[in-house]
Amino acid sequence: MARDVSHAVRVRDAPVVVLSLVFDVGTGLTLATSVAPTRRDACVRAFKAALSEDDAPLPPQRPGRVLSAAAHIEDVTSALEDLLTDAEMPVIDEIVPGPDIEDVVDSLVGHMSGRRQPEERPTPDDWQLLMTLALDYYRSEPWTRWSDTDHHDLVVRVDRVAARYVAVVFGKEGIERGLALHPGAVLPDELLTWQPGQPATPAQGTLMCYFDAPSKTPSECAAKAYRYGWPADADSVPVLLVTGPEGVADIGRRDSQHVALGLAAVLGREYGTEAGVTTAGGLDLADGVPGEYTVR
């Protein structure tokens, strides 16, 4: 697997930087990674590490079969020919990398960009559900009905474990459009008194889904959105982040479930419902996990 990561990594005198990963098909473990100015160099370095380094997650061994995306087969073949001069070349088959593999690459690129990575990543089914709901939210334009002064008291339950947030729809005031889930029952004082143009620091654990132009969005975030069905001609794509002790981080699986329920709660909340009146609903999350929400 190889990908241009020039936006995330800088190498002196190298305008293009390519990330290459070698996976073990049987276990899904990442055997080696490398970064180089060209795709071929990145492939050579990654294969060399996978074939020789003792600190890899599996003992080094010569492959009997190699799977590669069509765009990389020429570089993969050339790299292996250079490295396996005294052994028979493995069979090299063309495949279309699955979304789980692409998600691993996204996570590594996010790490290289400086975003903390979760211990448990969302699964492809989690991402599919989340992007479907995000698209429904984007198309319904709730920021034309709700203001960031409307604070929705939200409780979500995943597998009967509850968490509480203040859900805020933003975008009506001309800032970025999206949804923020602030942990707890009330907003921090600095956010209650926030005015446009002032800096704002959300509390740790704040979940954010916002929409930005593809040209302003990290390429791995845009690629993920398109991979899970986001329209290629949309003028914005979703970015999903959580605030942590060292700034924003990529969301984990439980985060993705909470954001999905938050989006569903806002979509299910009829405009004009008085504060204090509860709206409740349920959502079948990935892998049959039950999800519920109440919002008032």
Closest by Cα among 174, 147, 183 to 271: 147
Q: With contact defined as beta carbons under 8 Å apart, do 194 and 234 qualify?
A: no
Please report where in the chains the tokens 């993920």 appear, as a residue: 224
Q: What is the pLDDT along the chain (296 residues), one digit of tens a residue?
A: 667 665 555 556 566 788 898 988 888 888 888 888 888 899 999 999 988 877 767 788 888 899 998 988 999 999 999 999 877 899 999 998 889 888 988 888 888 888 999 999 999 999 999 999 999 999 999 999 998 888 999 999 999 999 999 999 999 877 789 999 999 998 877 676 666 566 667 889 999 999 999 999 988 999 999 999 999 999 999 999 999 888 899 999 999 999 999 999 999 998 878 777 899 999 999 999 999 999 99
Give residue 247's region: left, alpha or beta (phi > 0; psi -120 to 50).
Answer: left
Q: With contact defined as beta carbons under 8 Å apart, do 107 and 250 qualify?
A: yes
Per-residue confidence (pLDDT) for residue 19, from 0 to 100: 87
Residue-wise burial string across 81-100, b where 16 or more C-beta atoms lie within 10 A, e elsewhere:
eebeeeeeeeeeeeeeeebe
Q: Is the dihedral of CA 46, 47, 48, 54 positive or negative?
A: positive
**Packed helices 219-227 and 124-140: angle between N→C axes, nearest 10 degrees:** 90
Per-residue confidence (pLDDT) for residue 61, from 0 to 100: 82
CA distance 263 to 115: 23
CA distance 280 to 294: 4
Q: pTM score, two decimals?
A: 0.85
Cα distances (Å, whole numbers) of residue 247 to 36, 166, 183, 202: 28, 20, 16, 10
The alpha helices in 141-218, defined as continuous H runs, are 189-192
Per-residue confidence (pLDDT) for residue 197, from 0 to 100: 62
Spans of all domains in the chain? 2-97, 124-295
